[in-house]
Amino acid sequence: MVSRNLAILLLLILTVVFFFNSLKENNLESSSITGSVMGTTYTVNIRSLGSQDLVLDKDIFRILNSVNLDMSTYLEDSLISLLNQSQINTWINVDNNFIKVLDYAKNLCKKTDGIYDVTIGKLVNLWGFGPNEISNIPSDKEIGYLKEQVGCDSIDINREQNLVRRTKDIALDFSSIAKGYAIDELYIYLYQQKNILNFFIELGGEVRSTKFKEDTQSWKIGVINPVYPEKLIHTFYSNNHDSFALATSGDYRNIRVIGSKQISHTIDVKSGTPKNEAKKSVSVISANAMEADALATALNAMELEMAIKFANDNAIKALFVSDHAGKAKLVFSNELQKVKI
């Protein structure tokens, strides 16, 4: 079986890379702040006038880690873990961040007819993609029971009082949305509270940036080729979008080997089993990283033709990359084709 370290290494193969000049240009200075949180790494590149205070290391970590403390299933005392351990039909107090993320996730669940569903946590754990490792393929009985519990309405929200309760034997898993939300919280802090106008945030391969690196110069964001992960397949430019956030979901990024069977982290909600590992990915550009994160996951869970139709019907900027006879095939959604790409 693939070790935990190798699984993390695979997860950290960034689906996006960025390029920046660390030298002074046009009286702007570059500052790069790096660290680790949420089981992955982050980099924040800031271009700003030298007179501004760029000693932000502690604040950046604090903001990202606050989301981790709420939404990590790897922490026993996180809000999500306490909720997952609670009695069914028992209301649990949560904070505004938790409500915002769960509310969006529930709406997307219904919009995708349950293909995107954050109540899938126990199935994720059953197949070894959560905190615990497994050595055997789960039984049909275990799979059958848990998939019947999963559903958009298996969790209730009381928005007025910030309360949440499980109505079935499910566990929430925010791994497909929490990093995006953390990026958004940091973006708001840097842009609105610190009045920094030129910066780039990357957390675990997901990104959000200001429109410009400086003046009219763009940030460049490259998407990795899932067929040949050592190569880039496409480059996006931030100044082509009014607001730029990008997330990529791919079956090739996080896999397990159980016995002789290789499986991906993408769980088919209908069958309760992981999809076969495939060399494909979906990159989504959205107004914020939370939406990009969740939408990329949802589209990746769909069959290709269905995903393209969903993206087109819902005006989603999406790039689909798939293995076509050993070569990468690119499909741009209608909304993305409208952009200078």
User: What pLDDT digit, counting tens, does each position of 313-341 carry?
Assistant: 999 999 999 877 778 889 999 999 999 76
In whole angstroms, what is the distance from residue 14 CA to residue 133 CA? 23
Phi then psi for 236, rounded to 5 degrees?
Answer: -105, 155
In a domain, 339, yes or no: no
Q: How far is CA 83 from CA 172, 181, 221, 294, in A?
A: 8, 19, 37, 21
Packed helices 178-188 and 96-111: angle between N→C axes, nearest 10 degrees: 130
pLDDT value of residue 14: 39
Determine the straight-line distance between the first and last CA of the chain, rounded to whole angstroms. 41
Both tokens of 108, joined, read: 């997307």
In a domain, 165, yes or no: yes
pLDDT value of residue 253: 56
Q: CATH no. for residue 203?
A: 3.10.520.10
Residue 280 CB partners (closer than 8 Å, separation 6+) = 226, 250, 251, 252, 300, 304, 320, 321, 322, 323
In a domain, 266, yes or no: no
- Diameter over CA atoms, the chain: 65
Residue 133 domain boundaries:
1-240
Mean pLDDT by 10 residues, the chain (341 residues): 36 38 52 94 84 73 97 96 97 97 98 96 85 75 93 97 97 97 97 93 96 89 83 92 92 54 68 68 96 96 94 97 83 92 64
- Degrees, nearest 5: CA angle 307-68-30: 85
Q: Which one-letter DSSP state was computed for residue 300?
A: H
- Match 């269905």 to its residue by tokens: 306
pLDDT value of residue 59: 95
In whole angstroms, what is the distance from residue 140 CA to residue 130 CA? 19
pTM of the model: 0.87
Q: Which one-letter DSSP state was computed for residue 99?
A: H
In a domain, 327, yes or no: no
How do strand 163-166 and strand 199-203 relate by DSSP bridges? unpaired
| 79: three-class secondary structure by DSSP | helix
In a domain, 303, yes or no: no
In a domain, 247, yes or no: no
pLDDT in tens, 190-241: 999 999 999 999 999 999 999 999 878 899 999 988 777 778 889 999 999 9
pLDDT value of residue 74: 93
In a domain, 134, yes or no: yes
Residue pair 262/279 in contact (Cβ under 8 Å)? The answer is no
In a domain, 135, yes or no: yes
How many domains does one find in the chain?
1
| 90: three-class secondary structure by DSSP | coil
Both tokens of 197, joined, read: 């106008």
pLDDT value of residue 9: 35
Q: How far is CA 74 from CA 27, 32, 34, 138, 283, in A?
A: 43, 28, 22, 21, 26
Q: How far is CA 224 from CA 204, 209, 247, 266, in A?
A: 14, 18, 12, 19
pLDDT value of residue 258: 52
pLDDT value of residue 323: 79
